[in-house]
Amino acid sequence: MILTHYNMKYKRILLKLSGEALMGNKTHGIDSDRLKEYALEIKQTIELGVEVAIVIGGGNIFRGLSAAASGMDRVQGDYMGMLATVINGMALQGALEDEGIDTRLQTAIHMNQIAEPFIKRKATRHLEKGRVVIFGAGTGNPYFTTDTAATLRAIEIDADVILKGTRVDGIYTSDPEKDSTATKYNSISFDEVMSKNLKVMDKTAFALSQENKLPIIVFDMNKKDNLKKLVSGEKIGTLVTI
């Protein structure tokens, strides 16, 4: 049953997850426990009446940039990375459906036996019906990251916000895992992020988000109930806005 949360801050979100997030404590691949945790977090959000779209990376399986650095053709490597995102999308779809959540996987590269092709109107209709929509295969083009794909899809489906789930609880003055003196920003402007050269998303994705006045929230996806609290209006993570 879908519940209505009248104080809900966001009606439609684009959740961006890294492929590495699915590894859990493993060194590669997919951790089934972490997958289930994420599925339960997303289920709670759906039950609040929030419409959820997801873009997930493929770095736990294959990274095109790393392959290119080792001498592989960049275009070939990027396409391999896109296929890795589809594998992750299928895994997450299965985990969500195990929790009773209707889910659709749409891909930028046609692979009709396992996913729908990306069609904006169809994706929006799925969301309106309470289904989770996972967007796989990036933008379908080499040289573009899944951050860019997430921003592009968020704009296309008229999402209220991009929620970037990471293992860090926000944006810091420097890498908090390497610098104990790093301090967290509760909120920051797009211009400040650029002037301070803070790493939030790749520059193409970030510029798209800024141009379309689409806010980004960076938060710790691995902390229980964080996603539910965030969409309900609690101040979780770091907000990037105009």
User: Which of the 8 DSSP states describes residue 182?
Assistant: -
Residue written as token pair 């490597």:
77
Q: How far is CA 212 from CA 65, 151, 223, 233, 235, in A?
A: 27, 10, 29, 22, 23
pTM of the model: 0.92
pLDDT (tens, 9 = 90+) of the chain, 242 residues, equals 333 434 568 999 999 999 998 998 888 899 999 999 999 999 999 999 999 999 999 999 987 777 777 888 999 999 999 999 999 999 999 999 999 999 999 999 999 999 999 999 999 999 999 999 999 999 999 999 999 999 999 999 999 999 999 988 999 998 888 898 999 999 999 999 999 999 889 999 999 999 999 999 999 999 999 999 999 999 999 999 98
Give the domain ranges of the chain: 12-241
Q: Which two tokens stand for residue 112?
A: 């009709």
What is the number of alpha carbons within 13 Å of residue 113 lying toward its C-beta? Answer: 0
Q: For 121, list phi and psi in degrees, rounded to 5.
A: -65, -40
Q: Are 89 and 134 in contact (CB under 8 A)?
A: yes
Domain covering 12-241 assigned CATH 2.40.50.320 in the classification: no
Is residue 106 helix, strand or coil? strand
